[in-house]
Chain A
Amino acid sequence: MRVSDLDKHQVVDLGSATTVARLADAGVDVTGGRVTGFALRKTPGNQDWLPWERLHALGPDAATVDNLDAFVDAPTDGLLLRGGGVLGRRVLSDTGVDLGTLADVGLDPETGALTELVLADGHILDATTLVGMGSYATVVRAPAAPD
């Protein structure tokens, strides 16, 4: 599953079987290599953050929660893939080579672990090569030089 697949995802409350929000953005923990939660829009209240741990499930068509207690205040720190400008920014190897533009990020819908980094030219890098995501670039470990 890729972050771009989540664009139109509704958040459905299993208790009331109603749509209670939509996913707006994904937060990432670079060191842990995982999605920490989702920024929400169209929430009933002011709490517009859904931590990964409070998801009931992340399915192909919707995210589900047990009840509205799943929503919390958005963390003040943390990095948003879209809001933080990570998507659309360049990807640099740790050897200082520009590899292209980050177009999408893959995640495991069961665990939230980042699985792959998708470049604009279609090239796919394993997410285990991820070193950092900053204001200038996403940095990945350079592939070993072919001998």
Chain B
Amino acid sequence: MSVLVRGSDLVGLPVVTLGGDDVAEVRDVMFDPGAGLVLGFTLNKRGFLAGRMKELLPRTAVAALGPDAVMVDSIDAFAQEMPAELTGTSGDVLGDRVLTDAGAEIGTVTDVVVDTADGRVVGYEIAPTEEGKGRQGRRSYVPLSDAGTASGETLIVPASALDYMSNDLAGFGEAVDRFRSLLRGTDPATGTP
């Protein structure tokens, strides 16, 4: 079962071993906006005087990413540095403007939406550009296509993604699935500019 969570929801989650000990907590989520993948987590110590930990938790060492905890087999999951296959462009897309490939600006990125099943970024939470939308201040969710590109300044999404925007995370998972199957179905026929 895939559960969608916002990246910011993961911050502060306890990192728990299968033995039931809490060994760290998520300080921040490292992800590669180009590949649309969570790379791993920086960590804080647990407890009252929680400070930053030197160790990182690569995504591949995570046993399970849940809504209430990040599960690891043991503290051996922690690494001093990211394994080579995971060192992507660990970038920050928060605050990027979101532009469709047709040239329409639809908002700015306020968070990433992560599928807990496989650590993929499946979409973005955006604050819509206000003019003409009539629902100021509301967050929307826009699905990320496999072809989505990000520069650290602008995030490009296919115009067709707009039809699959959602106003709540609960219904967003289904929208992502439909959007993805649409892309898979139409890509060979139409291609993308």
Contacts and interface: CB of A to CB of B under 8 A. Distances in A.
B145 interface: no
Contact of B66 (A30, A96, A138): A96
Interface stretch (A10-18, A66-74, A87-95): A87-95
A22 to B, nearest CB: 28
Interface residues of B, number: 20
Interface stretch (B13-21, B153-161, B173-181, B183-191): B13-21
Contacts of A92: 16, 20, 66, 68-69, 71
Given A92-B71, A134-B21, A139 B66 contact: no
B20 A133 contact: yes
A94 B63 contact: yes
Contacts, number: 68
A134 B66 contact: no
A92 B67 CA distance: 11
Contact of A134 (B19, B63, B116): B19
Contacts of B20: 92, 131-139
Given A134-B21, A135-B21, A136-B21, A93 B16 contact: no
A50 B70 CA distance: 38
Nearest to B20: A134
A97 interface: yes
Contact of B18 (A94, A97, A135, A145): A94
A20 to B, nearest CB: 34
Nearest to B22: A136
Contacts of A133: 19-20
A55 B161 CA distance: 68
